[in-house]
Amino acid sequence: MKQITTLLFVMLLQVSAMAQQQTASQEPTSFSLKEAIDYALQENFNVKNANLQRDLATARKGEVRGMLLPQVSGNVDYNHNFQVQKTILENGVGLINVATLPQGIAYPVQLGLVNQFVGALNASQVLFDQAAFSAQNAAKANDEISEKNITKSKIDVSVTVTKAYYGVLVNEKQLLAINKNLQRVDSLYSETNARFQSGLARDVDRSRIQVSLNNIREERERVTRNVELSRSILRYHLNLSESNPLQLKDSLYEGQITVIETAANQDFDAIHENRIEYSIIKSQELFNLYDLRNTAAGRYPRLTAVAAIGYNPAATNLGDIGQNARWQQYSLVGVRLQVPIFSGFSLNYKIKQKKVQQQITENSKLSLEKEINLEVEQALINLNNSLQSFRIQRENIKLAEQNLEVLRAEYENGIALNIEVVAAEASLIDAQTSFYNSIYNTLVSKADYDKATGNILK
């Protein structure tokens, strides 16, 4: 039995692994930035949930619309009366006139039978209901909000995927640069070691380069882990399987920064209407208005047309209830007017709550306007700071490369010291790290600036 259980468990694991492999094989593995964004807009869970919320709002709108359509229901009741209810009449009043009894004495009369059956079909149609009419508009406004929330989710996902995509590119570029540094320093170490073996270099010179070589190897391992982490982050936002190799088609080039510099030099005032958050809160104001009207409509009368048709046979013996003579049909049509008179002030407090919610939304809108102004200003400052850092680091890396090249030539000719070459290598690595960080910060700042100004997905 234990062997069978183990075998079933192994088979289950194999089936699960095959299913995961099949899922992974169906996924795309190569993406440009645009393709990654488009794919995420279809597969990201946040966007999927936003679409489901839209479906909920659409269903809610249909539910409210159904309140104005005819309502039809059927009911079947069977009652067995252990004690049949009797109607109390008075002798000499109405149908009861027994000469042997005093006038006015109570006279119980049994009108029903022991077994009663009722089958009926009921229908109603709203003729006037202000609350239902107002609910239609509120449901439409809520549906509009859900549509805009989808757009907001898509914007957020686009920005997140853009940052994650650039994160992979920058880390890969940095890894390439570190590998080149490692090759160069390893070559220098081999050369110095050969000189040491020939007695032309000191052991301390070799040790200095060994320390630098170890540091670069450690840095390479760190950046390699960062590359894998950034890939995992991008897979997560794209909703890809962990086994997806994820190849990126795009690459970093200096022209990207030139385009960003052009955009940063253009004056752009904060336009609130460009932001989806502002559009959502405007729709929320409209929803609050209709919601208030819907609540206030509870003071209006409600007029409904009603109709019913059915049978109500009865019998002392249950077996007799199927006799045709006992099945007498009845039917009716009419109107029902419901007039609210007093609700214990509960409706007044409900209306007050809706008005307070309107004030909260108004304050939120004013706060959002200020927040958008601040975000645009802050995003532009961050973008300019990132561009300035990029220009400085670009110049620094050129100087560091030139400095290393000169010192290596001087070292080979016996002019420069070993320690100067090691220091130049360290300076170049620092410059490269700062340079690639500045590139990433610039690209991220541009994405944040586009989001702040409402230029995402346009």
Instruction: Give the tens place of pLDDT for each residue, 263-286.
Output: 777 766 778 999 999 999 999 999
Identify the pLDDT of residue 66.
92
Nearest to 340 by CA among 378, 302, 311, 304: 302
Q: What percent of the chain has pLDDT over 70?
A: 94
Q: Which amino acid is at 268?
A: F
**Phi–psi pair at 68, nearest 5 degrees:** -95, 0
Q: Which residues contact 186 (CB under 8 A, 6 or more apart)?
A: 213
- Domains, the chain: 30-68+129-300+345-453 (1.20.1600.10), 73-127+301-339 (2.20.200)
Q: Which residues contact 111 (CB under 8 A, 6 or more apart)?
A: 86, 87
pLDDT value at 11 more than 70: no
Q: Which residues contact 341 (CB under 8 A, 6 or more apart)?
A: none
> Confidence class of residue 147 from pLDDT cuts 50, 70 and 90?
very high
Helix or strand or coil: residue 17?
helix
pTM: 0.82
Instruction: Give the tens place of pLDDT for each residue, 42-54.
Output: 999 999 999 999 9
Identify the pLDDT of residue 256.
82
**Phi–psi pair at 178, nearest 5 degrees:** -65, -40
Instruction: Give the tens place of pLDDT for each residue, 59-116.
Output: 999 999 998 999 999 999 999 999 888 888 888 887 777 777 788 888 888 888 999 9
Identify the pLDDT of residue 2.
47
Q: Which amino acid is at 137?
A: N
When pLDDT is averaged across residues 186-207 and rounded to a whole number, the result is: 84
Helix or strand or coil: residue 249?
coil
Mean predicted lDDT score pLDDT of the chain: 89
pLDDT value at 455 more than 90: no
When pLDDT is averaged across residues 393-409 and rounded to a whole number, the result is: 93
| Long-range pairs, 338-344, Cβ under 8 A, ≥24 | 338/301, 338/302, 338/303, 338/304, 339/301, 340/298, 340/299, 340/300, 340/301, 343/298
